[in-house]
Amino acid sequence: MARGDSRASFTCLSGAVTIAGGGLAGLSLATGLRLRGIPATVHEAGAYPRHRVCGEFISGVEARTLAALGIGDLFAGLPEKTSAAWFREGRRIHEDSLPVPAVGISRYRLDALLRERVVALGGVVTEYSRQPREPREGLVWAAGRIPSKSEWIGLKCHYEDLPMSADLEMHLGRNGYAGLVGVEPASTDGKQRANVCALFRVDRSIRGSGARLLESYLRTGGNELLADRLGKASADAASFCAVAGFALGKQQADQRLCTLGDAESMIPPFTGNGMSMAFEAAELALDPLERWSRGISSWDTCVAEIRTGLHRRFRKRLAVARALHPLLLHSSGRHLIEALSRARLLPFRPLLSLVR
C-alpha cells in the first residue's frame, strides 16, 4: 500500500484507466494500477461470483508477477500440484512430475477474491455493465475472446467424490481432450472438488445438457472410462458452463484497440498456461499505462508498447502450442505421443518449458 501512496505523489494524473472485462487479466490489472495510485474502473458484463470455462490450473507464473499485481497472498496455503498423468482413450500413456509446483483454484472463488481486492484498493467494479468495443483513449479491452466462427466448444463442470490418479490428468480423445485438476472444497463439508474442463470439435449429433453433454462428448471421443468415472461422481450442476464461437491463437481485433488476456491471444488449453498468461499480460501493461496516466507518454505510444511487449513475451509459447495442438487431435499424432512415452522418449519437461 505504501508503494501506491508514494507513486501517486509523483505527479498529477492525467487519465484514469477503464477496463472492459472483469476476468483474470482485467481484475489483476486493476489491482496493480491501484497499487500505483492510478484510478481504475472495471466493467463486467456479468456478476460475481460465477463459474467460467477455465482449466483452473495455475502453472508457470512467477511470484514476482503476482507480487507486482498485489495478489500473491490470494494463493497462499493452496495445496501444491506436482504429479501429472496423460491418458489416450482410457490408456495411461505417461506419468511425470511438474518441474515447478502448480496450484488449482476455481474461477468462482478467484474472481470474487480479485474483485474484493480491487474494491479494497479503491478501484471501482461495475457489474452488469458493457462497454462498446471501439478504440478510445484510456480503454483496455480485457473482455475475453473476440467472437468468431469456430469448430470448437469448451465445456466445464465440477465434480465431487471423483478419485484422481494424479494432481493433473490429461485425457486425449479422437474429438478433443479434457483436463482434470483438484480445486478447493465447495463448502464446509470439506469435500474435494475436481474441475473437468475440455475442448472438443463441435458435433451437433451429440445430445445432452449440463454434465451429461460433457460426458457424451467424452464417450464419442473414445474416453468411455473417464465418462464412467464422472457418471459415478457427483456433478455440481450449477458449475457447468460452455463456450463456443472462439478461435485459438492471436485474436483478430482492431489494431487500434488496447487488448489484453484472451482478447489479445488464446493459447490452446492443453498447455495449462492460460491463467498464468493473463497475470503476465496484466503485469506487462502496468508500466505503459502508468506512463500514459501520468502524462509521460501518449495513448498511441502506450498501446504500441503493450502490443510489442505481449508479442515478445508470448510469441514462442503461442507458436509451440499452435504446432503441438494438431498432434493431439490427429490419430497419428496421438499414436506418436503414446509410442514415444512407452519408449521413455517423450520430452515432457522440455515441451512444458516451451509453453511457459
The pLDDT tens digits of the residues spanning 121-163 come to: 999 999 999 999 999 999 999 998 777 788 999 999 999 999 9
Strand order in the sheet with 17-20: 124-126, 40-43, 17-20, 139-141, 258-259
Q: What is the dihedral of CA 239, 244, 248, 251, to 10 degrees?
A: -110
Joined grid coordinates for residue 33: 494500477
Model pLDDT for residues 269-281, shown as the tens digit of each residue = 988 899 999 999 9
Q: What is the dihedral of CA 16, 22, 25, 30, to 10 degrees?
A: 30
Radius of gyration from C-alpha coordinates of the chain: 20
Q: Over pLDDT 70: what percentage of the chain?
A: 94
Domain residue extents for the chain: 2-354
Instruction: Please tell me the distance from the alpha carbon of residue 150 to that of residue 206, in angstroms, as a whole number.
Output: 17
Instruction: Please tell me the distance from the alpha carbon of residue 37 to that of residue 112, in angstroms, as a whole number.
Output: 22
Question: pLDDT confidence of 8, banded at 50, 70, 90?
Answer: very low
pTM, two decimals, is 0.91
pLDDT in the model for residue 287: 98
pLDDT of residue 190 exceeding 80: no
Lookup result for grid cell 509459447? 317
pLDDT in the model for residue 188: 53
Q: What is the mean pLDDT of the chain?
A: 91
Model pLDDT for residues 285-308, shown as the tens digit of each residue = 999 999 999 999 999 999 999 999
Question: pLDDT confidence of 244, banded at 50, 70, 90?
Answer: very high
Instruction: Please tell me the distance from the alpha carbon of residue 23 to that of residue 266, in angstroms, as a whole number.
Output: 14
Residues with Cβ within 8 Å of residue 332, at least 6 apart in sequence: none
Q: Give domain 2-354's CATH superfamily.
A: FAD/NAD(P)-binding domain (3.50.50.60)
